[in-house]
Amino acid sequence: MTATLQPITDALASENLDPLIHAALGEDIGPGDVTTEAVIPGDMTCRGKIVCKEDGVIAGLSVAARVFALIDDRIRFDPKTRDGEKVQEDQIVARISGPARGMLKAERVALNFLQHLSGVATMTARYVKAVDGTRTKILDTRKTTPGLRGLEKYATRIGGAVNHRMGLYDAVLIKDTHLALVGGITPALRAVRKAYSDTDINVEVSNIQELEQALADKAPRILLDNFAPGQVREAMQIIRRRAEVEISGGVQVSNARAYALAGADYISVGALTHSATALDFSMKVTRY
């Protein structure tokens, strides 16, 4: 039930990445950078450095490098760390050199990608650390920025999480909305098994009665939605390893370990992508 169809680097492939970068550059530069073109001579060159302004986990260096390359392939981007490594306040994460106009035009978009993806990786690493030493794995969700799912799920992997399904197409998750429309767990499971006889199935339950029905219908994986840690422990005594268990809803860094110790196989956290705070970076330049 976790996504295995796409390698972690698929989001970085040029055919996937370049359209996103072109769209971002288009909204930022439009018909031209009027300030840079007025102030900076066309033949000026400069060197620069990208500095991380706070502690965190880096993600998106190759994306930032690609932004500079698409603006001007004469710009040299020299990373001084790599995705997945911890970075500290005032650490230089890359050095850059080349045409000054191109570097200034690319700066904001490159840093926007870098700060957002590093923020996601940093948030994810906090959750992963919270459950360290348990068998519980942290999962991301589909609560992603439209158009950036591949990159954001790349960043959660860099932070130590496991990708959940990439979309509605690569795994079955029967949610409360499905159950409300078809009359419950039994008809929903019957319909899925008829349509996809060899697929894994995850069923969301919101109370003990639904849990017992899912177990009676031999659901292979059960998502306990908005269960408190004590309720999870009660549910685990009922399940007795007859199904894999995923927890979702209300999980924060401060209580993630309590959920893990209650016996969950997986904890899915929408906050990894929808609430991550950007990691702050800046670019400093000097003429040469």
Which CATH number goes with the domain that contains 113? 3.90.1170.20
270 is an annotated ligand-binding site residue: yes
CB 176 within 8 A of CB 204: yes
Task: Specify if 116 maps to a domain.
Answer: yes
Exposure string of 94-128, with b = 16+ CB inside 10 Å and e = fewer, is bebbbbbbbbbbbbbbbbbbbbbbbbbbbbbbbbb
DSSP H or E run through 203: strand 201-205
**Residue 7 binned pLDDT confidence (cut-offs 50, 70, 90):** low
Query: Active-site residues: which are they?
Result: 108, 143, 175, 204, 225
18 and 93 housed in the same domain: yes
Number of domains in the chain: 2
Angle, alpha carbons 251-252-258 (nearest 5°): 70
175 is an annotated ligand-binding site residue: yes
Tell me: the pLDDT tens digits for 163-205? 999 999 999 999 999 999 999 999 999 999 999 988 889 999 9
Exposure string of 204-227, with b = 16+ CB inside 10 Å and e = fewer, is bbeeeebbebbbebebebbbbbeb
**Amino acid letter, 106:** A
167 is an annotated ligand-binding site residue: no
166 and 256 housed in the same domain: yes
269 is an annotated ligand-binding site residue: yes
Task: Specify if 153 maps to a domain.
Answer: no
249 is an annotated ligand-binding site residue: yes
263 and 176 housed in the same domain: yes
Give me the chain's average pLDDT, please: 95
CB 229 within 8 A of CB 251: no
pLDDT at 260: 96
* Residue in this structure with the two tokens 């390698």, named with its chain if needed: 7
97 is an annotated ligand-binding site residue: no
Cα(51)–Cα(44) distance, integer angstroms: 23
pLDDT over threshold 70, residue 4: no
DSSP H or E run through 79: strand 76-79
**Residue 6 binned pLDDT confidence (cut-offs 50, 70, 90):** low
pLDDT over threshold 80, residue 1: no
The residue ranking higher by pLDDT, 4 or 74, is 74
Domain extent for 103: 10-128+277-287
Helical axes 100-130 vs 149-158, angle rounded to 10°: 60
Q: What is the CATH number of the domain that holds 263?
A: 3.20.20.70
Rg (C-alpha) for the chain, rounded Å, is 23
Task: Specify if 151 maps to a domain.
Answer: no
171: three-class secondary structure by DSSP: coil
Closest CA to 105 of 15, 23, 30, 20: 30
Tell me: the pLDDT tens digits for 72-86? 999 999 999 999 999
Tell me: the pLDDT tens digits for 144-157? 999 999 999 999 99
**Residue 278 binned pLDDT confidence (cut-offs 50, 70, 90):** very high
Which segments of the chain does DSSP mark as H helices, in order?
A: 14-29, 34-39, 61-71, 100-130, 149-158, 176-182, 185-195, 208-216, 229-239, 253-261, 271-274
Task: Specify if 18 maps to a domain.
Answer: yes
26 is an annotated ligand-binding site residue: no
Task: Specify if 51 maps to a domain.
Answer: yes
